[in-house]
Structure 1
Amino acid sequence: MKMQVERIINNNVVSAFDSKGKEVLVMGKGIGFQAKRNKEIDQELIEKIFYLDTQTEVDKFKKLLANLPLEHIQVSNEIITYADETLGRKLNPNIYITLTDHINFAIERFQQGMLFDNPLLWDVQRLYRREYLIGEYAVALIGKQIGIRLPVDEAASIALHIVNAEYSSIMSETMSITKIIPQLVEIVEKDFEITLEEQSLRYDSFITYLRTLMQRIVSREQLDGIDQEFNDMVKKLYPKEYGCSRKIADFLTEHYPDIVLAEELAMLSIHIRRLILGTRGKE
């Protein structure tokens, strides 16, 4: 793909226009050293082309990359690529900004002896196991490539950035949801007098559903196309599960402005039913 230089960010990053006229950021060791505006980029120097969704994001990333060491950019890119491949889903491109900035800041803090605990470490380990394992991979990769061994709390912080990119949310929302989900699980456990098996696929599926439900509530995009007949049928077939859903809905109403709508209540009841059947099937 032929690209023309638009602006030299530093010796290792340039902005360019691709063949469709879209501005992209191009990384490669020494790529900006002899580059000139409107000249074609040497294809052999290209290591990574960053495509972002909006011009605002492109401008933010330009500003960020202008002052970062190349190795910090490279390790962040490797982590994001690994996360994409491991999760099997495309992450929001904004993660190139947020995670790269976070990793650079985490390294700087470590070098200055400023270490912070992550209060959500335990919850992240329980709720986002796949993302947390990617965070552990990231910490190991940073240690290998940059020679800095970040604390385990950073694995959780990196995992939260990945969760953000999966759901296209912001950090404050993700942290809020992460704090609340264990309390929702506790409501189910108390209601049915069980202890859920956190390593099970059904548990993972239920946590994913809760995360998606809360994201819809936060973004005010709840499911609302159900007919009353179906809602009544679910309530009749699964009265215990529906009652538990109602308790969860009441709890969420204390934390978020919107009530949980009828379709969400019915779907939550079905997910609880599936979870309980899987758990009791192993008793």
Structure 2
Amino acid sequence: MRIRKILNNNIAIVTRGVNESIIYSPGIAFHKKVGQSVSEDEVQKNYVLDSKDRLEHLSYLLTHSEQKMIEITNQIVDWYEIDVDAKIDDYLYITLLDHISFMIKRGQKEEFIMSPLLWEVKKFYPHFYALGIRAVQLISREYAIDFPMAEAVSIALHFINIQDEKTNISEKLQDIGVLRDLLNIIKYHFKTDFDENSINYLRLVTHLQYFIERLNSNRAYNSDQTMLYEQVKTIYPSAYEVVQKIEKYIIEKYNQEISQDEYTYLMIHINRVTERAGN
């Protein structure tokens, strides 16, 4: 790698063939000059971006962020990559560093975010919420700011989003909102609270998550099992009533009707979770 541009003592833009990237390591550019080579062993982090705009954006953020903030961001991403055993798109460094920078500025003014999605993210994405908690604890410790743990939701959403490159944060938030609404329809119909630690509740949540994915792609279950549908409808009339309510919601939200097979599986899962013996 050869240095194309020195941004500060810790950061430089380098070239390898026709490709450019940003390297970071404390003191790496000290006493270096443009055109000199840098070995892999000297580099703590090499940021590889897929466009010139992103490279310039990250260059700006890195040069305007203190070293501690950069290393915190690198540490959080390292935790994620170790947890999922996969390398991620370095674009995450842009969004996460930008988020952490603004988060610290808010925290210094004691302006904290209490996310309305705390319950949803904690329940449906516990692994990413735990990573967010770990990140908030690190930032709180390094900057001596007592952040509420609800701040972990905003960080968790960065990692939730990159699980599916075709899904952006706004779409993911919409799916979480739909899941919450479906659970509330069931809850208020039966006038009961769920045992959120029960196997049947977890199965229902998982089924609803896949149900929402099928709605998004317009791929409903449809195997024409009319006989099974009629049997389940007769055996579980209360579950059938609540699925009718769910269908009204789905028609309004997605302009789609629920197939017989979807009805059948929803009734079965709903009956399991709402039967006292199944909790």
Q: Distance in 2 between matches of 1:266 and 1:39?
A: 66
Instruction: Give the superposition deviation at 1:244.
Output: 5.0
Instruction: Give the superposition deviation at 1:27.
Output: 1.7
Verify: 1:273 aligned to 2:264, yes or no: no
Select which of 121, 128, 132 maps to 2:118: 121
Contact 2:223 2:261 in 1 (8 A): no
Q: Distance in 1 between matches of 2:204 and 2:231?
A: 20
Contact 2:161 2:169 in 1 (8 A): yes
Q: Distance in 2 between matches of 1:182 and 1:107?
A: 30
Contact 1:213 1:222 in 2 (8 A): no
Verify: 1:222 aligned to 2:231, yes or no: no
The structure having more radius of gyration, on CA atoms, is: 2
The amino acid that maps onto 1:123 is E
The amino acid that maps onto 1:179 is G
Instruction: Give the superposition deviation at 1:148.
Output: 3.0
Q: Unaligned 5+ residue runs, structure 2?
A: none
Task: Quote the residue 2:176 is aligned against.
Answer: 178
How many pairs does the alignment contain? Answer: 273
For normalisation by structure 1, the TM-score amounts to 0.76
Instruction: Give the superposition deviation at 1:24.
Output: 2.8
5 Å-filtered alignment, 1:41-56, equals 41-56=38-53
Contact 1:91 1:166 in 2 (8 A): no
The amino acid that maps onto 2:3 is V
Q: Distance in 2 between matches of 1:231 and 1:186?
A: 28
Superimposed CA distance per residue, residues 30-73 of structure 1 (whole angstroms, 9 cap, x where no aligned partner): 22334444432233331122234444433332232231112112
Contact 1:71 1:146 in 2 (8 A): no
Instruction: Give the superposition deviation at 1:101.
Output: 0.9
Distance 1:230 1:192, change over 3 A: farther
SS of structure 2 residue aligned to 1:9 = strand
Q: Distance in 2 between matches of 1:172 and 1:120?
A: 12
Distance 1:5 1:247, change over 3 A: farther
Superimposed CA distance per residue, residues 16-38 of structure 1 (whole angstroms, 9 cap, x where no aligned partner): 3346x443332211223344444
Q: Distance in 2 between matches of 1:230 and 1:249?
A: 18
The amino acid that maps onto 2:36 is K
Structure 1 stretch displaced more, 159-168 or 29-38: 29-38
Task: Quote the residue 2:252 is aligned against.
Answer: 254
Distance 1:272 1:142, change over 3 A: farther
Q: Percent identity?
A: 26
